[in-house]
């Protein structure tokens, strides 16, 4: 006959064994937290998630890192800095992740960077383009993969200067990224072309552009050229309204991000032609690194990659290489290992700069066109991110000491 005490004793042993098994299981993986605005920015972030999942599969199939499999626990931040911090705290406290990566919007990325600094946890900002994340608000625990706002604008300014257009209109989303892009464009173009004039600015609410009013205001100013920073659904509305009203006819346009298939493809045959843009012409880049990536991506998803796919893939590969170099997931050791870290990406090798924690990933600059009813990039070239950085002396002034 089993006594009540005996049953309790066996239950306690069983429970302890279960906890031990869970602990042992947890020790076999390296848990990584990922946070992003999937619901708010699906065009970019759906392919981005596919990218990091492909990298995760490849890393684990090759044996993982430090003898352990990588495990990613992902959360949506609703495009809101407050929710970003809430889910970051949840990932650390409940899921016990050992580091963080992700971020899309500049405001959520800056919130995560500050969180990383306060909590002393490593954070790789995959996508946020804000300059502040590695300069004014930079810290030892935060690194950034994608070329920054400054870098991408610096890639476009020489092309803008070649146009020799005097009167420019500026249109941008009214938050940190858009404001920074326009400020940098004005500064760099003014230096390259001292007689330039900026005749109208349209700062629009993110995700809620009044395309008719914006288009009319720009047309009324009679600019020679337009610098556009709108992206996503806002870009689509602006392009369609501009096409309808003839805003772009015989008028030069220089535009950040518009050549990315994530934003160009949804426009279909309405895609703008002749715009000078940054983007990712995956379909005609003939480097071995890109071909290998495109083949693997298409084999897994039966779809073509977007720029988001490259960013997600390269972010996870950066984390794997960083952990290998550090030999640990300790935040201080990871932060040290990322300084000067070299990573192979679909764009070729990139390096995380010791002076500001920014990677040297570059971007393709080219001209938009339409082929077979779809927007494409032509006459493009790759610009190495290392070639469009301010001097080390300037970086020292911009970035606080770690």
In this structure, is the dihedral angle defined by the CA atoms of residues 295, 297, 299 and 301, taken in order, positive or negative? Answer: negative
- The mean pLDDT value for 73-89 works out to 97
The whole-chain average pLDDT of the chain stands at: 94
- The mean pLDDT value for 261-277 works out to 96
pLDDT of 251 higher than 90:
yes
Residue 147 confidence (pLDDT)? 97
Q: Report the DSSP pairing between strands 374-383 and 167-173.
A: unpaired
Residue 86 confidence (pLDDT)? 98
Q: Bridge-partner residues for 266, per DSSP? A: none
Nearest to 214 by CA among 173, 253, 252, 160: 173
d(CA 74, CA 80): 16
CATH T-level fold of 24-148+286-361: Rossmann fold (3.40.50)
Confidence of residue 27 (pLDDT cuts 50, 70, 90): low
**Residue 272 in contact with residue 253, Cβ under 8 Å?**
yes
Per-residue pLDDT tens digits for 97-120: 999 999 999 999 999 999 999 999
pLDDT of 7 higher than 50:
no
Q: Bridge-partner residues for 142, per DSSP? A: 123
DSSP state of 148: P
**Residue 65 in contact with residue 59, Cβ under 8 Å?**
yes
Per-residue pLDDT tens digits for 121-143: 999 999 999 999 999 999 999 99
Among 1-10, 29-38, 198-207, the range scoring the smallest mean pLDDT is: 1-10
CATH T-level fold of 150-285+364-388: Rossmann fold (3.40.50)
Query: Is 150-285+364-388 in the same CATH topology as 24-148+286-361?
Result: yes
Give the angle 96-319-289 at the CA atoms, nearest 5°.
150
Residue 402 confidence (pLDDT)? 84
pLDDT of 310 higher than 80:
yes
Residue 158 confidence (pLDDT)? 98
Is 295 in a helix, a strand, or coil? Answer: helix
Per-residue pLDDT tens digits for 354-390: 999 999 999 999 999 999 999 999 999 999 999 999 9
Q: Where are the domains of the chain?
A: 24-148+286-361, 150-285+364-388
Residue 401 confidence (pLDDT)? 84
- The mean pLDDT value for 243-249 works out to 97
Residue 5 confidence (pLDDT)? 46
- Lookup result for tokens 């400020």: 183
d(CA 101, CA 124): 5
């Amino acid at each position: 006959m089993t006594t009540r005490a005996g049953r309790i004793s066996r239950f306690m042993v069983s429970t302890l064994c279960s906890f031990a098994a869970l602990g042992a299981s947890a020790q076999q993986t390296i848990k990584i937290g990922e946070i992003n605005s999937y619901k708010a920015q699906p065009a970019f972030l759906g392919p981005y998630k596919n990218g990091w999942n492909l990298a995760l599969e490849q890393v684990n199939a090759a044996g993982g890192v430090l003898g352990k499999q990588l495990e990613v626990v992902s959360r949506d931040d609703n495009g809101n800095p407050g929710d970003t911090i809430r889910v970051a705290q949840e990932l650390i406290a409940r899921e016990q992740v050992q580091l963080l990566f992700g971020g899309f919007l500049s405001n959520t990325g800056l919130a995560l960077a500050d969180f990383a600094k306060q909590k002393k946890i490593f954070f790789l900002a995959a996508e946020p383009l804000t300059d502040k994340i590695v300069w004014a608000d930079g810290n030892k625990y935060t690194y950034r993969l994608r070329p920054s706002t400054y870098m991408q604008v610096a890639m476009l300014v020489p092309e803008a200067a070649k146009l020799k257009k005097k009167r420019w209109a500026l249109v941008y989303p009214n938050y940190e990224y858009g404001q920074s892009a326009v400020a940098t464009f004005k500064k760099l173009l003014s230096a390259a072309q001292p007689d330039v004039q900026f005749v109208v600015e349209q700062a629009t609410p993110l995700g809620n552009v009044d395309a008719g009013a914006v288009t009319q205001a720009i047309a009324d100013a009679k600019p020679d050229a337009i610098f556009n920073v709108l992206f996503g659904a806002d870009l689509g509305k602006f392009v369609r309204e501009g096409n309808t009203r003839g805003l772009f006819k015989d008028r030069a346009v220089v535009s950040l991000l518009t050549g990315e298939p994530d934003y160009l493809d949804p426009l279909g045959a309405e895609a703008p032609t002749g715009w000078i843009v940054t983007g990712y012409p995956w379909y005609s880049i003939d480097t071995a690194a890109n071909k290998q990536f495109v083949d693997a991506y298409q084999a897994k998803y039966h779809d073509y990659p977007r720029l988001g796919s490259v960013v997600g893939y390269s972010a996870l590969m950066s984390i794997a290489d960083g952990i290998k170099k550090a030999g640990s997931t300790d935040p201080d050791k990871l932060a040290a290992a990322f300084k000067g870290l070299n990573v192979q990406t679909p764009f070729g090798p990139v390096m995380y700069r010791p002076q500001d924690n920014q990677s040297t990933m570059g971007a393709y600059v080219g001209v938009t066109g339409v082929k077979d009813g779809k927007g494409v990039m032509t006459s493009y070239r790759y610009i190495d991110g290392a070639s469009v950085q301010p001097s080390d002396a300037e970086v020292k002034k911009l970035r606080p000491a770690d």
